[in-house]
Amino acid sequence: MRKKIVAGNWKMNTTFDEGEALVKGIVSLKAGVAADVTLVVAPPFTHLNCLAEDLEKAGVGLSAQNCANHESGAYTGEVSAKMLASVGAKYCILGHSERREYYGETNATLAEKVALVLQNNLIPIFCVGEKLAEREANRHFEVVKSQLEVVLNLSADDFAKIVIAYEPVWAIGTGKTATSAQAQEIHAFIRKTLSEKFAAAAEQTSILYGGSCNPKNAAELFAQPDVDGGLIGGAALVAENFIAIAQSF
Ligand code: 13P
């Protein structure tokens, strides 16, 4: 059985007090979520240390949204995977389309980040997804396949630890969700691509859908055989909505 995961990517939202209140809300509602669903929240760096204890007690995974592609040293403004592990993070989102687009992340830098995250015993939530023009040109399979190269180069042991998130750029923050058929088609393609290298392990890889996922459309998306949960942006900023999505399996 693949792990069902609902992860909230808060992006650059919430002051510390707002983040603390959001965690309290999620923790207070968590009992309504099935025990086989793993909840993860990814607040901004500044909040991680102080939120870790409450989340750990509640059995909610703590994730960062990014990390440095270097181990340590003179990289002003950067945060290392080791630092994230030291404050209780268990996951790290990597390769989000906003990082690829606005901060120039490439397969080469992402390969370094994935390696560091794994070395520090964090689970990478590795994001892939095509832009609108790429889908319209019917290039989405090719684009996603080239993004997956980073994880296809891992050892079998490391590959078995990762989570994939498929997030079509045209669906992020736009209110335009992929249809469940579109999501299933590309999730199945992702699994097939992974299984060509990692036959048995790819069957166990959780592949999350992200992009305007909300309490209304989550059930249909999560009912698809290759959709194992969601990476949620806007709807993860309201505890009731985040929990309602987690109840949609
Ligand atoms: P939205 O749910 O706001 O579309 O964002 C999705 C996303 O980018 C999660 O990482």
The one catalytic residue in 98, 130, 134, 167 is 167
In this predicted structure, the answer to whether residue 1 has a pLDDT above a threshold of 90 is no
Ligand 1 binding pocket mutation candidate from 5, 6, 9 (most atoms within 8 A of CB)? 9
The residue whose CA is least distant from atom 2 of ligand 1 is 233
Number of C-beta neighbours around residue 247 at 10 A: 16
* pLDDT tens, residue by residue, 140-166: 999 999 999 999 999 999 999 999 999
* pLDDT tens, residue by residue, 89-101: 999 999 999 999 9
Known catalytic residue at 47 = no
Compute the average pLDDT of residues 45-60. 98
Q: What is the average pLDDT score of the chain?
A: 97
Compute the average pLDDT of residues 218-224. 98
What local confidence, expressed as pLDDT, does residue 161 receive? 98
Distance 66 CA to ligand 1 centre (A): 15
Distance 94 CA to ligand 1 centre (A): 14
Distance 102 CA to ligand 1 centre (A): 15
Strand partners, 5: 38, 229
Known catalytic residue at 96 = yes
> Is the dihedral angle over the CA atoms 148, 173, 101, 132 positive or is it negative?
positive
**Percent of the chain residues topping a pLDDT of 70:** 100
Tell me the pLDDT band of 18, cut-offs 50, 70 and 90: very high
What local confidence, expressed as pLDDT, does residue 210 receive? 98
* Tokens coding 162: 């990762």
What local confidence, expressed as pLDDT, does residue 102 receive? 98
* pLDDT tens, residue by residue, 118-142: 999 999 999 999 999 999 999 999 9
From the number of C-beta atoms within 10 Å of its C-beta (0-12, 13-18, 19+), residue 125 rates as: buried
Distance 202 CA to ligand 1 centre (A): 24
Q: Give the Cα separation of 156 and 18 in Å (integer).
A: 40
What local confidence, expressed as pLDDT, does residue 205 receive? 98
Return the ligand 1 atom nearest residue 234 CA. Answer: 3
The one catalytic residue in 47, 96, 140, 187 is 96
The residue whose CA is least distant from atom 1 of ligand 1 is 233
What local confidence, expressed as pLDDT, does residue 145 receive? 98
The ligand 1 site (C-beta within 6 Å) comprises 9, 96, 167, 172-173, 210-213, 231-235
Compute the average pLDDT of residues 41-55. 98
